[in-house]
Chain A
Amino acid sequence: MDRRDTLKTLLVGAVAGVTVGSAASCHPDKAANAVTVGAGEKFYGRTPKELERDNRIRSQKYLTNHELETIAVLCDIILPSTASATSATGAGVPAFIKFIVKDIPSHQLPMRGGLAWLDLESNKRFNKQFQFCTKARQIAIIDDIAYPDENNEKPDMAPGRKFFNLMRNLTVTGYYTSREGFKDLGYVGNRPNIWDGIPEEVLAEHDVDYDPEWIAKCVDQSKRDVIAKWDDDMNLIS
């Protein structure tokens, strides 16, 4: 990872610190449950040994510039930008792939070999390495490797299909584990809140219901800050 990427990571770590409080709307004045999370923390809770390993991996080089450029082209074929969503390169997926193939060495040969296969195929068809082909020609190759070949019509494309599957997996995972990917997915978890059951409009769409007897036993969130007391027969009375 280059200096700029390192700085970017540092920055992300720095802004991740947030102060949160109880979201119990019924008790807006109660701060008892407030918790300060990771203010000023760098990175993500590493032990010294893990941090040293991360830094060592960042400082190493595995993929060549040509390989990384080809990866960037592939990432944006796999997840181009849309009217509402950032592209894979816009979400930093190539930098993730650059790191992860060093971090998980079993990705290295399939990635390098697959990229080389792609250039060989591209040279054979168009006398040009993949990244230098026109978009239409790139897509012509991708369409031959992006789908299963159930009738075994293009057995020569099998190595390409295997490689594209790896590229697609790493691109999707890199994208949807990014801030931009959360937005595109509509993911709204990983923040303090008060779970009080499935939203009614969601429940209405499904062929399942809350059993009133069951729900009656569940937590009354308006009393979450009242200290628990029981009678001698194990019944909660507070």
Chain B
Amino acid sequence: MQIKESAKVYDAIIVGSGAGGGMACNILANKGLKVALLEAGPFFDPKDPQTMTQLKNPWDSPRRGASVTRAFGDFDMSWGDWQVDGEPYTTKDDTKFMWWRSRMLGGRTNHWGRISLRFGPVDFKHKDVDGLGENWPITYDEVKPYYDRLDKMIGVFGTKEGLPNDPDGYFLPPPKPRLHELYYAKGAKKLGIPVIPSRLSILTKKINNDRGVCFYCSQCGRSCSAYADFSSGSCLIFPAQKSGQVDLYTNAMVRSVTTNDEGLATGVSYINKDDRKEYQLKARTVVLGASACSTARILLNSKSAQHPNGLGNSSDHVGRYLHDSTGAGRSAFVPALMDRKLYNEDGVGGMHLYTPWWGDHSKLDFPRGYHIEVWGGLGMPAYGFGFNISEMNKYIGGAVGGYGDKLRDDVKRFFGAIVGFGGRGEAIARYDNRCELDPDVVDQFGIPVLRFDYKWSDYERLQAKHMTETFDEITHAMGGIPMGDLPGPESDYGLLAPGQIIHEVGTTRMGDNSQTSVTNKYSQLHDAKNVFVVDAGVFTSQADKNCTWTIMALSMRASEYIADQMTKKNI
């Protein structure tokens, strides 16, 4: 099989079309650079009626939306989940890491929760506070201008709160809370736990004439056909294509970055999934936004005489310091929410309010915080609706079991009476938690796959313990009854497996020291100045925030640096 080379030389090749790659594509194309954007999955447009799931009814699916072929159910708009056919990954020892990949234009941004939180000043310098992990080489003030522009460019609702480590932004107005959310707020406030409007990248108000405004179907996970939520394709890539500067390559699975005798990148080598042949593209700069772990994999697979340990890996740090957000959840039955009058309370996708981290670590036995997400309400029935509904009677002294009219009554009486809580917290990045190439296993394209080696520590376990105990306290304070048993040490206090929260970061972390980091503070490889990373790989540490807004702010920053350096002929 002969490798097919293209004679064309791009200014930049961007690998991956999610939050980071999409932003790089948008910025670079609008700066007039000639860009090739490579995506390992097929083309996707949220408004294409052939692929759309938004506003479908459960009976449109023969399995009523069950999660048989898609991990989050039939209507979730992610092609690929923790398993991708023909593209395995492996784990070492008793590691339980789960790796989500969305193979489609826009990647995971098509189905994500749209929770768009800025990192705060402390999040960039947390080692200064507690001595753990590593400081970022940049400060909040250096990233703030990019967050500011991002808010206006993409749109995010929220409120000015003046909190020290949850910075405000240029917010659209938030939607009013739902009923169960008021119960949550009431319970939390009794305990002194703050509750504020959530911050989601959903348009409650027009920001330009290209995108629609939210029509409150609550289905951002299905990707919005009106482009009223943020997806990389609809908000970054399609607008960038109008410049005429973007060549889009879909089903293009990048195997490696090619380099020259000086160790600089010359382009990429990729497999076209349609004909399974290998192709090469050339560029002056390579921008990796394949996702933290996929980017690490590409770098590790890019071995050459100049980079024998993989590109950017002279420090042996590629793949290390991998960390996901922590997660644990509980649910509550709230008797006051029984026998509800029904109305359309779909609202936006996700919660209308949330709790940012409030704790004082000097009084706690774990070092980093978490935020609380709340769910519940009169959601659309799907597969699983009504399972064991009669069991709910045990909470109110009613009769369990039965059929007929009693069963219909049970279904209706308990509809909307369950509220759930999810904690999403910060883990400490550890040198030993990593992904590396599995020496024995390749995927269906012959490319060596990743092997994960990851262990939680007591920092995360004790944080999960605090989460679930707090959720039960809130439950009591809001007049509810915790459902199920409080998880104990045998299940790590309910701490979910790493990778389950789908916020993996840190594999090509940025730092000033080339011996202990992969990229510099401009997301540029220490080892090859014309290779940049624009996904969450560059995160020196995660925060008690979701990572997308920071991915995009840093991608914007790196992309402008690239354009500037190319103009100055430094690259």
Say whether A associates with B: yes
Could you say which of B28-36, B214-222, B305-313, B552-560 contacts chain A? Answer: B214-222
- B21 contacts chain A at the CB level, 8 A cutoff: no
CB interface residues, B 37-85, toward A, < 8 Å: 47, 49-66, 68-69, 74-75, 77, 79, 85
Whole-angstrom CA separation of A125 from B215 in the bound complex: 58
Q: Which of A64-72, A126-134, A151-159, A191-199 contacts B (4 or more CB under 8 A)?
A: A191-199
Interface readout for B169-197 with A: 1 if CB under 8 Å, 0 if not? 11111111111001101100000000001
The residue that B75 contacts in the complex, of A36, A44, A175, A181, with Cβ under 8 A, is: A44
Q: B278 to chain A: closest CB distance in Å?
A: 24
Task: Given the known inter-chain contacts A44-B60, A195-B176, A196-B176, please indicate yes or no for A33 contacting B182, CB distance below 8 A.
Answer: no
CA distance A92 to B217 in the complex (A): 26
B205 engages A226 (CB within 8 Å)? yes
Please report the total number of A residues contacting B with Cβ < 8 Å: 99
Contacting residues of chain A (1-29) with chain B, CB-CB under 8 angstroms? 1, 9, 12-13, 16-18, 20, 22-23
Interface of B is mostly: loop
B172 to A, closest residue via Cβ: A228
Task: Tell me if B402 counts as interface (CB < 8 A to partner A).
Answer: yes
Complex: chain A residue closest to B56, CB-CB: A44
Q: Given A9-B62, A177-B58, A187-B380, answer yes or no on A35-B215 (Cβ-Cβ < 8 Å).
A: yes
Q: A47 → chain B, closest Cβ, in Å?
A: 6
Q: Which residues of B contact A104 (CB under 8 A)?
A: 63, 66, 68
Closest beta carbon of chain B to A99's beta carbon, Å = 5
Q: Do the beta carbons of A12 and B217 come within 8 Å of each other?
A: no
Any B CB within 8 A of the CB of A178: yes
Distance of A37 Cα from B343 Cα, bound (Å): 22
Q: Does B566 contact A (CB under 8 A)?
A: no
The answer to whether B386 and A38 touch across the interface, beta carbons within 8 angstroms, is: no
Q: Does A193 lie within 8 Å of B216, measured CB to CB?
A: yes
Please determine whether A79 and B206 come into contact, CB atoms closer than 8 angstroms. Answer: no
The A179-228 residues at the B interface (CB cut-off 8 A) are 179, 181-182, 184-199, 201-203, 205-210, 214-215, 217-220, 223-228
Tell me if A40 is interfacial: C-beta within 8 Å of chain B.
yes
Residues of A within 8 A of B567 (CB): none
Interface membership of B347, Cβ < 8 A = yes
A146 contacts the other chain (CB 8 A): yes
Other-chain contact of A195, B186, B347, B400 (Cβ < 8 Å): B347
Contacts known (A190-B217, A202-B343); A176 close to B52, Cβ less than 8 A: no
Residues of A40-55 whose CB lies within 8 A of B: 40-41, 43-45, 47, 49-50, 53-54
A113 contacts the other chain (Cβ, under 8 Å)?
Answer: no
Q: CA A178 – CA B385 in complex, angstroms?
A: 11
Is A120 part of the binding interface, using a Cβ–Cβ cutoff of 8 Å?
A: no
Say how far A91's CB is from chain B's closest CB, in angstroms: 9
Neighbour of A219 across the interface among B174, B212, B345, B380, CB < 8 A: B174
Residue A85 CB within 8 A of the other chain: yes
Residue of A whose beta carbon sits closest to that of B77: A45
A195→B216 contact, CB < 8 A? yes
CA distance A193 to B215 in the complex (A): 5
A39-B217 in contact (CB<8A): no
* Chain B residues with CB under 8 A of A79: 403-404, 407-408
Taking CB atoms, residues of chain B closer than 8 Å to A45 are 50-53, 56, 75, 77
A37 touches B79 (CB 8 A): no
Instruction: Name the contact of B407 in the complex, choosing from A92, A168, A235 (C-beta under 8 A).
Output: A168
| A177-B381, A224-B213 known; A234 vs B171 contact (CB < 8 Å) | yes
Chain B 391-426, CB within 8 Å of chain A: the 1/0 string?
Answer: 000000001111111011001100100000000000
In the docked arrangement, what's the CA distance between A121 and B151, Å?
66
Question: Contact string, A102-114, partner B, CB cutoff 8 A, digits 1/0?
Answer: 0110000000000
Interface centre among A82, A215, A225, A234 (most CB of B within 10 A): A234
Chain B residues whose CB sits within 8 angstroms of the CB of A182 once the complex forms:
57, 381
- Is residue B207 within 8 Å, beta carbon to beta carbon, of the partner chain? yes
Does A136 reach chain B (CB closer than 8 Å)?
A: no
Would A169 and B387 count as touching, CB distance under 8 A? yes
Q: How far, in Å, is A27 (CB) from chain B's closest CB?
A: 11
User: What are the residues of chain B within 8 A of A226 when measuring CB–CB?
Assistant: 205-206
A96 within 8 A of B: yes
B51 near A194: Cβ-Cβ < 8 Å: no
Once the chains bind, are A78 and B403 in contact (CB under 8 Å)?
yes
A173 in the interface (beta carbon within 8 A): yes
- The smallest C-beta distance from A210 to any residue of chain B, in angstroms, reads 7
Closest to B227 in A: A35
Bound-state CA distance A77–B414 (Å) is 21
Distance, CA A99 to CA B66, complexed state (A): 12
Q: Which residue of B lies closest to A35 (CB)?
A: B226
Closest to A176 in B: B381
21 contacts between A and B (CB under 8 A): A1-B62, A9-B62, A16-B60, A18-B55, A20-B215, A22-B215, A35-B47, A40-B49, A45-B77, A50-B69, A78-B403, A96-B64, A173-B386, A185-B415, A187-B342, A188-B344, A197-B177, A218-B176, A218-B197, A227-B209, A230-B152
Sorted nearest first, the 4 A-B pairs with minimum C-beta distance are A147-B401, A172-B386, A197-B176, A177-B58
- Residues of chain A whose beta carbon lies under 8 Å from any beta carbon of chain B: 1, 9, 12-13, 16-18, 20, 22-23, 32-33, 35-41, 43-45, 47, 49-50, 53-54, 57-58, 77-80, 82, 85, 92, 96, 99-100, 103-104, 142, 146-148, 165, 168-169, 172-179, 181-182, 184-199, 201-203, 205-210, 214-215, 217-220, 223-228, 230, 234-236
